[in-house]
Amino acid sequence: MVIVVGGGPAGSSTAFFLAREGVEVTILDRAHFPRDKTCSEYLSPQASRILAEMDVLGAVENSGAAQLTGMRVHAPNGATIHGEFAADHGFRGYRDRGLAIRRTILDSILLDRARDAGAKVEEGVRVTDVIRSSNGRITGVATIGADGAVANRTASLVIGADGLRSVIGRRLGLVKPSRWPRRIALVTHYEGVESVGEFGEMHVERGGYCGIASVGNGLTNVAVVVPVSRASDVAIDRTEFLESWLAERPVLAARFARAKRAGPVRATGPFATSARRAWAKGAALVGDAADFFDPFTGEGIYTALRGGEILASHASEAIRNPAEADSALREYDRARRKEFSGKWMVERLVGTAIAFPPIINRAANVLSRRRDMADILVGVVGDFVPAREVLRPGYLLSILFSPTARA
């Protein structure tokens, strides 16, 4: 039996694909669904392929999810990077649109689908530790139920899909914070933000950035991300901090002048954590529990869904062939790195650019004039253009040394 800790996209995806293969699987989550989640709530176009494979794409679209046709990045110097998912740059994805949807809706759809596939779901159960055998192998988890009952649960494999602050990852000693960049995010929803269309927006400012995107049903997801050095200011009053941050920036202030906040301001971070490897004897990590760099490129939900799909094939092999379980999990880690390593490099390049205004200004000056290059970058973010297209020396040198690249 497999225990999946966490019922978000990573846990539901993993459990669905395992259950479909006939593996006995139980999802444990401390929350009761539907529950809200601090998130940019963006799904790249390629995420739709996995939603279709899980037979929930129609349900997600019919729930009122917003359709996104591309991304716009506004640099501090006023230049705008405009990229479209449907651009004719020689690569075709599953779809030419991304989706944005409230996590209260998406997570419930995914969790119900995992349940329908045969997974058992237990809500209101908090996992506090892993259980080890005398030889150090993980053999289960320790839990506290909604009624306060303490229990030890045994499993052939424990999967940590419990997010940025993964209990499983910490107990395994695999996860560590990165030294840079250290950022925190404030996320909420607004009604009535002016000029919100079919493009996701990122507004890069000195000292932080703001993401804006429709999530359907008249709501706009608004996320302000700032260095962790501002944490003490955020702690005083996170709502006042976010509203002041928007009001102090004229372009944003005008668009929010008649908008109404439609929910609480939630905080998350610091970001930038990674696992030195995504498995241990008897356990594996997936989604944000294994790696989360920065929310700028919006990779969380797709990485969670795709990571669960990859893990499930190796985890089912580990269950069916216990003698080769470690080899199967080691192969999962290799497959995961092969799948995501290019995107990790792109994320880190983007993270560096937005931290230093002269760099993002230079990049924006070039990409605002070179729509073909902007479309490729957005295609990489959309997960249907290979990351190597952005990592090519010619592409990077064009940004750094183009005669139009005046900071």
Q: Which domains does the chain show, CATH number per domain?
A: 2-37+102-178+272-344 (3.50.50.60), 183-268 (3.30.9.100)
Upstream peptide bond of 270 is cis (omega within 30 degrees of 0): yes
Helix (H) or strand (E) holding 278: none
Q: What's the pLDDT score for residue 404?
A: 59
Asked if 373 and 398 count as a contact pair (C-beta separation under 8 A), the reply is: yes
Instruction: At 273, list the tokens.
Output: 């954590």
pLDDT along the chain (407 residues), means of 10: 98 98 97 94 93 97 95 95 74 69 98 98 98 96 95 97 95 87 94 95 93 96 96 96 96 96 94 90 96 81 96 97 97 97 91 90 94 92 90 90 62
Q: What is the CA radius of gyration of the chain?
A: 21
Q: How is 231-267 classified by DSSP, letter by letter?
A: HHHHHH-HHHHHHHHHHTSHHHHHHHTT-EE-S--EE
Instruction: Report how far apart, in Å, the C-alpha atoms of 189 and of each of 63, 98, 106, 214, 263 are.
Output: 17, 19, 16, 9, 6
DSSP 3-state assignment of 291?
strand
How long, in residues, is the chain?
407
CA distance 271 to 180: 9
**Are 159 and 117 within 8 A, CB to CB?**
no
Residue 131, beta-bridge partner list: 140
Give the DSSP H or E segment for 174: none
pLDDT of residue 205: 92
CB 307 within 8 A of CB 226: no
Q: Find out whether the peptide bond into 34 is cis, omega within 30 degrees of 0.
A: yes
Please calculate the CA angle 170-173-176 and round it to the nearest 5 degrees. Answer: 75
Region of 289 please: left (phi>0), alpha (psi -120 to 50) or beta. Answer: alpha
pLDDT at 123: 97
pLDDT of 270 reads: 87
Would you state the pLDDT for residue 403? Answer: 67
Query: To 10 degrees, the CA torsion angle through 396, 400, 403, 405?
Result: 110
How crowded is residue 3: how many other Cβ atoms within 10 Å of its Cβ? 27
